[in-house]
Structure 1
Amino acid sequence: MYPNEESLNCLDQFRFIDGRRYHNEDNANYYFPNDKQESDRLRTQHFWGYEVWKGNFSSPIKQKLEKGNMTVLDIGCGDGTWILDCSTTYPNSTFVGVDFSPMFPSPSSCPPNAGFLQHNVLEGLPFPENTLDFVFMRFMSTFTQRDWELLMSEVIRVLKYDGWVEVMNVVPESTNI
């Protein structure tokens, strides 16, 4: 059996190093694998973050999410665990995850109010101005200062005037003993 063009394109999308699958883009600064083992790690990280921060977010939006009609974007959504958790908890709001590396669940396993986009957010956000109610980012450790400036200008562009942005990051401190 010979591979068809579609399967060859799929192979070109990834590279394998020491048995782990990675994206195959030279101009991206995302260094983590995108295989099942990484998905398991991200899922564990999600629930660790949930416990540490006592929930999925700290912005004062719970009542609005429960009421519904909010549009939420998770930038750097990884395997989509946060999106699936929130979209199940708040079925009247819409949740969209975007990530450079495609590790998303299949559409058939997602609630109807959840969706995913493969996209490099450093090329801009694929949303019209003033359309999102809440933008969430967590564990975004590979961005440079310039990347953050570019991304935040895009977040401001797509966020509604009364919207919220939440960034949850772990900042390691190094000390000499």
Structure 2
Amino acid sequence: MTTTYSFTNFLKSKWRSSPKDGRQSRQNAMADVERDWVRHSALKLALDGDFKAPIDQLLKSGGSEVLDIGCGAGFWTTDMAMFQRVDLLELPLPYENDTFDVIFIRCMMDVIPDEQWDDVLQELVRIMKKGAYIECLETYPALVDAGPAMTTIMQLANSSDEAMSAAIQNPLPNRMAAISQLMGMQIQHIHTPVGRYGGAVGSLLLEHWDRVIESNRQKWVQSKLVGEKQLAVAINDLHAEVDSYQTYMSWYSVVAQKKGYKGPLILVEDFDSMKSKKNDDDRDDEDDTNSSSNSNNNSDS
């Protein structure tokens, strides 16, 4: 089936290339593109698709306007639709009020400066149609059940990232909840393994961390954040350690709808709640089976 909705790819060139604590990010360098692909593939498997917002029918009906914030190498956009790429430097965005049906943001907390996030979200709400959806997918900075090697790597990766530190104190759900034009906000938590013990998703995310290390190793040593021998030991131990500790990453998808829509509210259940409900349903099915078996045995008697 051919979709007819329009897709705009939005890349904040200024944010992606501005120095942050002495860092200078390269725009879509090959290593970054490859790392984006690995992470995109892992998330698509973990989420069982490209989005959690309830927009399947909206997209299939055609004529929708979709905006991808922080497109990076554009793998999500390519999966979703044909698109046009727009490089912008600053707010306000060059779109009329009430333009887009869907806005999607992924892994931008460490890209957009903390002090600009509230303005960015307000601007996105401005260009959303009434009833439009916004979805933000982000990772929690700290990995769970991390051993010494991964803890070292994680601390290095976050050491000069003021944006991520601020994100811990004021994450996107808090910011979005304060916007009066949004309603029906729901959060889904996703837990993804890091390591070969976690199958395809875990192997891809382990490769993602390998690429993070490869891209930053020289900078970490030159900046005297870690000794070369200490880093080498951590890298050498990493693969076996994450399997032994069963390390994993936690993500959240926050979805909200702009007020003014007269249809039903969105329903997005928490990952843990869904898992618990499935286990309860399985137990109920097992009890029904046992009851039926006992009833048949009594009848035979």
TM-score normalised by length of structure 1: 0.64
- Is structure 2 residue 80 aligned with structure 1 residue 86? yes
- Is the Cα contact below 8 Å between 2:19 and 2:25 reproduced in 1? no
Q: 2:54 aligns with which of 37, 56, 60?
A: 60
Deviations 1:67-112 (A, max 9, x none): 111110000000111111000xxxxxxxxxxxxxxxxxxxxxxxxx
CA distance in 2, matches of 1:31, 1:171: 23
Alignment of 1:1-177 (within 5 A): 23=17, 25=18, 32-33=25-26, 34-87=28-81, 113-120=82-89, 122-142=90-110, 143-173=112-142
Amino acid at match of 1:139: C
Gaps of 5+ in 1: 1-12, 14-21, 88-112
Higher relative contact order, chain-length normalized (CA < 8 Å, sep 6+): 2
Match of residue 109 from structure 1: none
CA distance in 2, matches of 1:60, 1:30: 38
User: What SS class does the counterpart of residue 109 from structure 2 fall into?
Assistant: coil
CA distance in 2, matches of 1:114, 1:135: 14
CA distance in 1, matches of 2:65, 2:88: 18
RMSD of equivalent CA atoms: 2.9
CA distance in 2, matches of 1:30, 1:152: 25
- Is the Cα contact below 8 Å between 2:102 and 2:133 reproduced in 1? yes
Deviations 1:116-152 (A, max 9, x none): 11113x5222211101000000001223432210110
Sort the Cα spacing of 1:67 and 1:115 in 2 relative to 1 into closer, same or farther, 3 A. Answer: same
User: What SS class does the counterpart of residue 79 from structure 2 fall into?
Assistant: helix
CA distance in 2, matches of 1:64, 1:160: 13
Gaps of 5+ in 2: 1-12, 148-301
Identical positions, percent: 26
Which structure's CA Rg is the greater one? 2
Sort the Cα spacing of 1:147 and 1:59 in 2 relative to 1 into closer, same or farther, 3 A. Answer: same
